[in-house]
Amino acid sequence: MLLVTGGLGYIGSHFAVVALQAGYEVLVLDNLSNSHANVKEKVEKITQKSLDFIEGDIRDEELLDDIFKQYSIEAVIHFAGLKAVAESVAKPLLYYDNNVSGSLSLLKAMQNNKVNKIIFSSSATVYGEPKYLPYDEQHPTNPINPYGYTKLHVEHMLRDICTADNAFAAITLRYFNPIGAHPSGLIGENPKDIPNNLMPYLIKVANSELPYLQVFGDDYETRDGTGERDYINVMDLVEGHLSAINYLVNAGFHVFNLGTGKGTTVLELVSAFETANNIVIEKKIKSRREGDLAKFWAKADLAKKELHWEATTSLLDSCRIVQ
């Protein structure tokens, strides 16, 4: 059985779908801070398989210990974490408490119960200002915001555990910018508050739930002045996790980028969204957000070589709203 922390959230729920479809038993632990309980039923409807769910927090060490004693956990897929750069700048201690302390509690419970395989949901934000592009896994790590620092702290913990215990296997997957949704349209990115990420914000504008899209900065040194990112379809992303499970037979600490290898600006993504959905999006230019980089994209050759994985979904398909 796989323990999937944060498994009712955006990426976790999509992973739960592909894991169930691949024949794994899945136990989800989620505190529902930025997810919805009804996602469980939606995942079960898509897969026609049952999903075990416990509402709880990864900082609850007693609960974690009970879970590992009650269930036969083969590996942990660790998605649980706060993920908004701007919020992390405003509320750094919240991010350190949830992302770092929570991961520490999880790893202690794993160690106490002799579970020694984990895949960690990390981020390209650990790289910081680009020394060169595209980022490869050897690029220096130097985050520029608390969110990035929390991800890097957890990576350091994983590396140190693997050094201390030669049977421990930890895979860090450094995501670029996930977008899109499951083809069924039943699950997708659906934050409880005003979205911090571009795609769910676009969808809310398209559905007239928000009046216009805020574009943060149009004076970056990019093709059109807006920030440039590597947007990867969420289904491609979670397939990368399935491939990584097979790689957990290799003990030690391993890092892989998961991205498309292509940069797309905010305005280019908006244009693709408009084309894919035959819609016009109202937008307003705002000042830059603190903690944002001008541009970055991935070199994902290592994942292709070692995990036999690569992103295949087009930008247009990722932008299409499933009705």
247 is written with which tokens? 């790689």
Interatomic CA distance for residues 301 and 188, integer angstroms: 27
Torsion of CA 113, 114, 117, 121, to 10 degrees: 30
Q: Is 147 a catalytic residue?
A: yes
Angle between helices 102-112 and 146-164 (to 10 degrees): 20
Interatomic CA distance for residues 148 and 150, integer angstroms: 5
Q: Quick check: helix, strand or coil at residue 154?
A: helix
Residue of 10, 24, 135, 147 marked active site: 147
Partners of residue 285 on adjacent β-strands: 215
**79-108 burial, b for 16+ CB within 10 Å, e for fewer?**
bbbbbbbebbbeeeeebbebbbebbbbbbe
Q: Which residues are catalytic?
A: 147
